[in-house]
Structure 1
């Protein structure tokens, strides 16, 4: 036994060798991210550099209906269920690759009946009958086990496990990215719905005011105190306002259906719940944005791209291992004979162990081509990672710029609405005092409705920009449930 010990230890020693490059982490795709951009120029009155919470950012809007819809979407959205299924597939693949590193054993049971023409066999012990024409028959019974093991000499299987683990982690990041996109898309659809509902209501008020103005102008035209031009101008304005209502109604219905499908419901199921008009939710006074380094570590799409890069790097070593010799060991042990009683003779068994060394040294460059392909795939993954990082920074900076500009717009329109409110109030006082006409009052009220509509639109857009910031920062995801986190170790 001592004489064969070095031979037994040789596979163990060789298996310590692992070919291919070791993954050293992602490249620094944005070395100057913390020194420039909207992160570094955050206005303290608009944003704060405090680190944001990862999940449930929509609760900052203070809208219970939106909170309920987000919970329904995270529980029943089909796209999210598909991402979870892909994660389970990736983790099952990891368990399979880990199992491939271990020996494989099979149990076999065999019964065979053979008839040999032209042979004279002594069948006295076999229980077989000789047939006519000089033929003989033979029965064979066997129970046994066979095992095989391919020694991972150069680490190809270990690289496969490394790639499968990184792929599973990429699938988990893709699941989080799906959650980010889903929560942001649902919030945006909800804001668009509330905006269209308010615009329809304001349009209805504007139509009522314009109809009164047109009726009074026609009366004045009949009495000779107004021109035909005044009538046509107001009539054209009324038709234009009425025309605006039709596309707004179609958009409102489309957003109702979009919300239903995002929450996993059929179109129309939520119409009763969402038809009553509610205020458009507004963002908080301060928005936590953190810093670029934290964002790059938090965004799921960046983490997914980085894990894909790690998996493709490991696959280079997996391809490299194919260029070297392969050692496999097969073993067989079994009992049996020509009668069922032979299966009980446990001291009379057959055993075989057969090491086999194979090497495709003359493959005319096939394995080398596979290595070059793996290297190309890895380089493509690195380029995609760099692109993802730069796109994330641009997305975050653009979202912050739009949010700041929209805050200024909302403030300006708020002042305009306050002025329109004051004008309408003064016009009403003058009308009651008899110093102005009803048509002047109706015109002031129409301008007040227009100012209210402009402000409402801007507020909805501001909250939409807030949603875009949350998506750009990679917020709105949470770790899978404990059952989903179960994986082979």
Structure 2
């Protein structure tokens, strides 16, 4: 029996050794990037402490919102469900199996006097199963990064919604201050009208300005409610069920510091969307290898083991056959061509992701720096307009060379400068958030480098050359 097995397996071993494992060879994708961003000199890359960048706002409410959002957001939960799906797909493709073989069917039958076990397996000699497993593994890694990307996106939306709400609340406070100021002006005008020092037209102008201010407050209240509702949705709770106190505490959130941003090349490892595109590119590479391997012969093994009850003797049979896809070659070739085209698409998608990431960083820098400069100027404008209004009131009361219309103009100017300051402070926060998110901050790194024995994407699609490993 041992000699028979040797005679069967010896030519089988020669056949397996003579059929090389075919695969597409790619290199890690590369792209030419500048060594610095346009607005800053090359600086040290941000540390891992920058993962929790929103804490630079020193706002406990924002910290709570981020923590609850990461735990309850439904988009993140959906990404986690997709991750479980990708994990199941990877197991289905045999990621946990060793070697290139996959058992198609195993049957066992039992009668009263014997027990039969049948085996039917087909092994692609060019490693099709191994390449499909690699593709499934790469897609699983892409799903992991997709979950990280979902968290990064929700973090951005949550922080932006919160800063928008605080801006609107600040604007409402400004309008309430405007109302108090204009009521005072109306009282002064009424006194002057009684003394014959003002006209009925002056009073009507003051009343009109106060009515315009009152008309703005309901719209602002509506916008505040909409931002609050947006926060509820991002937290994964129904509108109206939010229990966290979001009342205005008198201050808009502003970052305490702006850390280093690194260089453009840092984005390749920091941005989960770029790394996800790279993993999908690697999966497309493995798909090419699998499609190419499918055009090669497969070894089909069939066997039967029979064990009679009550006897130590057993019988075994093993048949091996070579399955050559001769007639399906045109379809298999077309399928391989399609996979090569998908490799090109994946590569271009990776390049687009990189270029868009650099663009986002550059735009966020412009927004942040311009907002910082505008905020400084707005503070000066608010102070100057406040002094101008106070002086105008004094001159009106003392009978100076000034009219009531001048006082109303100063009120408008002070209100506009306060609103501009609030907007610019909101833009500072928005620019900081956009910059941190564009840099890929706000998430732990899933995996710094691909596994050394897995296929990785190439520098250009023209390198998708089928070679013998």
Matches within 5 A, 1:17-56: 17-28=20-31, 31-34=32-35, 37-38=37-38, 41-42=39-40, 49-53=44-48, 55-56=51-52
Distance 1:83 1:424 in 2: 55
- Map of 2:10 onto structure 1: 6
Provide the alpha-carbon RMSD of the alignment.
2.9
Structure 1 position 70 matched with structure 2 position 36 = no
Provide the residue aligned with 1:108 in structure 2: 108
Structure 2 counterpart of 1:186: 158
Q: CA deviation at 1:351?
A: 2.7
Q: Quick check: 1:103–1:148 contact (8 Å CA) kept in 2?
A: no
Distance 1:217 1:404 in 2: 43
Structure 1 unpaired stretches of 5+: 112-139, 337-343, 482-489
Equivalent residues in 2 for 1:448-467, closer than 5 Å: 448-467=414-433
* 2:218 equivalent in structure 1: 246
CA 1:181–1:417 in 2, change beyond 3 Å: closer, same or farther?
Answer: same
Deviation, structure 1 residue 65: 0.8
Task: Provide the secondary structure at the position in 2 that maps to 1:351.
Answer: strand
In the alignment, the residues of structure 1 paired with residue 45 and residue 261 of structure 2 have an alpha-carbon distance, to the nearest angstrom, of 6
Q: How many angstroms apart in 2 are the aligned matches of 1:441 and 1:233? A: 11
Shift of 1:399: 0.9
Q: Distance in 2 between matches of 1:241 and 1:325?
A: 81
Contact 1:334 / 1:350 at 8 angstroms: preserved in 2? yes
CA distance in 1, matches of 2:395, 2:211: 29
- 1:291-330 superposed matches below 5 A: 291-330=263-302
**Structure 1 residues 345 and 271: alpha-carbon distance in aligned structure 2, compared to 1, 3 A threshold:** closer
Q: Tell me whether 151-160 or 276-285 shows the greater mean CA deviation.
A: 276-285
Unaligned segments of structure 2, at least 5 residues: 448-469
Q: Secondary structure at the match of 1:56?
A: helix
CA shift in 2, pair 1:278/1:263, >3 Å: farther
Q: For the residues of structure 2 that align with 1:465 and 1:313, how far apart are their CA atoms?
A: 38
Partner of residue 114, structure 1: none
2:135 paired residue number:
163
- TM-score, reference length from structure 1: 0.81
String of CA shifts for 1:19-61, please: whole Å, max 9, x gaps. Answer: 2312312142xx14225x42xx3179xxx64424352110111
Aligned equivalents of 1:241, 1:192: Cα separation in 2: 21
TM (normalized to structure 2)?
Answer: 0.84
Q: Take 2:174 and 2:226, find their aligned partners in 1: how far apart are those partners?
A: 19
Partner of 2:334: 369
Cα distance in 1 between the residues matched to 2:318 and 2:8: 14
Structure 1 residues 429, 214: closer, same or farther in 2, change over 3 A? Answer: closer
2:90 aligned to which of 91, 94, 100: 94
Q: 1:230 to 1:142 in 2, by over 3 A?
A: farther
Return the offset for 1:203: 0.7
1:475 alignment partner in structure 2 = 441
Q: Judging changes above 3 Å, is the alpha-carbon distance between structure 1 residues 82 and 479 closer, same or farther for their aligned structure 2 residues?
A: farther
Match of 1:84 in 2: 80
Distance 1:266 1:155, change over 3 A: same
Q: Which has the larger radius of gyration?
A: 1
Q: Is the aligned partner of 1:415 residue 2:393? A: no
- In structure 2, relative to structure 1, the CA distance for the partners of 1:451 and 1:234 (3 Å cut) is same
Q: Structure 2 matches for 1:140-155, cutoff 5 A? A: 143-155=115-127
Q: What is the rounded CA distance, in whole Å, between the counterparts of 1:422 and 1:271 in structure 2?
A: 42
Output the CA distance in 1 between the equivalents of 2:59 and 2:205. Answer: 42
1:270 Cα deviation from its structure 2 partner? 2.5
The answer to whether residue 229 in structure 2 is matched with residue 257 in structure 1 is yes
CA distance in structure 1 between the partners assigned to 2:18 and 2:143 by the alignment? 33
2: CA distance, partners of 1:363 / 1:152? 15
Inter-partner Cα distance in structure 2 for 1:355 and 1:233: 100
Between 370-379 and 243-252, the greater mean CA deviation after superposition? 243-252
**Is the Cα–Cα contact under 8 Å of residues 52 and 289 in structure 1 kept in the other structure?**
no
Q: How many residues align?
A: 437
In the superposition, relative to structure 1, how do residues 432 and 346 fare at CA in structure 2: closer, same or farther (>3 Å)?
farther
| Counterpart for residue 320 of structure 2 | 355
